[in-house]
Amino acid sequence: MDRTIGIDYGRARVGVAVSDPLGIFASPLETVPAANIIEYLQNYARTETIVRFVVGYPMNLNGAPSEAAADVDVFLKQLGAKFPQIPVTLEDERFTSVLAHRAMIDGGMKKSDRRDKNSVDRISAAIILQSFLDRK
């Protein structure tokens, strides 16, 4: 089934989210060590058809790329080299961590669980992907 993958790339961890087959809803999927993300995506692509990657792109409030954008640029080159047939869309990721924390609070997640950065990364990836899906 066709899936769109949302990615919240970080130097240490990468949040991954996936769309439903109809491309309507985004769901948090996994948090993967950054060093293993390409291998993880290759394994995922063996069982699911990935039709697009939506990658969060870090921007400053003035709309210019932030310092973290350089890390994402390196990742984008790796992603393009390993998956040249799959299109990549960049999505502004400003405030996704704040929105992820708000979603966890609204969802009733305990304070101790909200401190888990892996959860924040996964939920941030889902917010990035859902933003794309809503516009589509």
Q: Which domain holds residue 96?
A: 2-135
How is residue 106 written in tokens? Answer: 């609204």
Position 16 scores a pLDDT of 97
What total of structural domains would you count in the chain?
A: 1
**Does residue 66 contact residue 94 with C-beta atoms inside 8 Å?**
no
Query: What is the value of pTM for the model shown?
Result: 0.85
Q: How confident is the model at residue 1 (pLDDT cuts 50, 70, 90)?
A: confident
Residue 96 has pLDDT above 70, yes or no: no
Query: pLDDT per residue over 115-133, tens digit each?
Result: 556 677 888 899 999 999 9
> CATH number of the domain that 88 lies in?
3.30.420.140
Using a 10 angstrom Cβ sphere, with 0-12 exposed, 13-18 middle and 19 or more buried, the burial of residue 23 is middle
